[in-house]
Amino acid sequence: MKIKKKTAMAISFTMGILMFATTAMAEISSKSGYEQAKDALKYSAESFTTKLSNYTLDVSMIMKSNDKIIISESTLNKYDLTKNASENVSTSVEGSKKTSAYYYSDNNIMVNKNDQDGTYYVTEYETPRKGRSFTNPFKEKEAADVEKIIDAVVGNLKDYVVVDEKADGSKELSGSISEAQIPALINAVASYTLKNETAINRINDEENIMPKITKDVYVKEVKGKMTVDQHGLMQNFFGTGILVGKDNEGKEHNLTFELLGKIYDINSTNVNKPNLSGKKVEKHIEKNRDSLANLEMYVGKYKNDIIIEKNGKFQKIGERILEITQSNNESIVGRYHEEYVKGYENYSEKKQDINFNAKYTGEDRHDAEIVIEGYSSKGNINLYRGDAKIYFGVPTSSDGRRWYSGEFYRVFE
């Protein structure tokens, strides 16, 4: 799913405000409430990325300027961890422009819909993608440091939240803080971010829907609510933040950010590949560049030129010839030799003519070492993925008077 810059900026800024709000609300309840809230966030993140089979996340965002909606976006996200699949449908409004987007992905295919002409762009992977996973933000290497920074910034806001424990074991955390309780550091960060982003927004976008805030920025109010079930898994969340600032003419602007989310259909969400019958489709096959499935295709003759510098010019004095006679999953067999133009044979102190049977050293079957009789060091042969060329490196391959190139290109005769 591709998000436009204004929308991305608004979402990012809203998330920043609401992350502050959520953390602040946790901090300001009590030590136990703070720990409970952080545990719920961490448990939810771990569950959404590794433990649950599937779930649906419905998120909507609204940004208002003086009570007028200038940006809104709603996104329905379906995730299936067992199939490593996701489906996203979104609708956004930015000023007078309304757009929609569709995205689907699994190990074998990726689908994007172009909102302009209705075309579905499909990428099919020659072999299933490996290593794809849902990322837990709390497992990122910077997470611990970010958490410490948030803890420090929140400071002594400890008395403005209500933790309501329900009879079934679920909890609701809610609260609000106003400008009188908000630390100066929060206002400084908000001021810098808002002025910088609105300035960039006006430069890069055709429609200037964001007011140009230049001074007197402060956070007026932050409110939020989060509910978790009896296991500590987040069920829904809501947050709103109001920022106030003035433009160059001194006109005051109130920017309101609202974020609403709901998680449901846990372990009962179906994420299905879209049926594109009758649709306008452009298909692309993504070759597997990380492994070589058909090694026999590299059997054949390869060459490169032997070059020297003479009288300030490059001059070809011969050819290096690499003949691959056998290539399979275990080894690559062939011969390397050099042929010189008459009169230039002396440019090789020892004219090289090597027969080799090299064993592959890696699981991806494209790199092998070559033991060459009479040499203490080993050579190396490497098959280029998706290209008709081979790298072949040999010991003492240059005597200082000529350039050696290890790239050999396939000869088609």
Spell out the domain ranges in the chain. 5-286, 295-410
| C-alpha torsion sign, points 198, 90, 276, 86 | positive
User: Phi first, then psi: what are they for 197, rounded to 5°?
Assistant: -70, -40
Q: What is the pLDDT of residue 74?
A: 95
Alpha-carbon distance 336 to 76, whole Å? 59
- For the chain, how are helix, strand and coil distributed in percent, rounded to 5? 20, 45, 35
Confirm if 51 and 79 have CB atoms less than 8 A apart.
no
Alpha helices in 65-183 (DSSP H): 143-154
Which residues, 6 or more positions from 293, have their beta carbon under 8 angstroms from its beta carbon? 126, 127
Alpha-carbon distance 169 to 228, whole Å? 9
Confirm if 242 and 220 have CB atoms less than 8 A apart.
yes
Q: What is the pLDDT of residue 1?
A: 41
Each residue's pLDDT expressed in tens, for the chain with a length of 413 residues: 444 444 555 545 455 545 554 554 444 444 455 667 778 888 898 999 989 999 999 999 999 988 889 899 999 999 999 999 999 999 999 888 889 999 999 999 999 997 888 899 999 987 787 655 678 888 887 878 777 766 665 555 555 667 888 999 899 887 778 777 776 767 777 777 776 765 545 444 445 677 888 888 888 888 888 899 998 899 999 999 888 888 888 888 898 999 999 999 999 999 999 999 999 999 988 766 555 567 888 899 999 998 888 888 888 998 999 999 998 878 889 999 888 888 887 776 655 788 888 887 665 556 788 776 666 677 788 888 767 889 988 765 555 556 678 899 999 87
User: Phi first, then psi: what are they for 190, rounded to 5°?
Assistant: -65, -40
Provide the 8-state DSSP code for 384: P
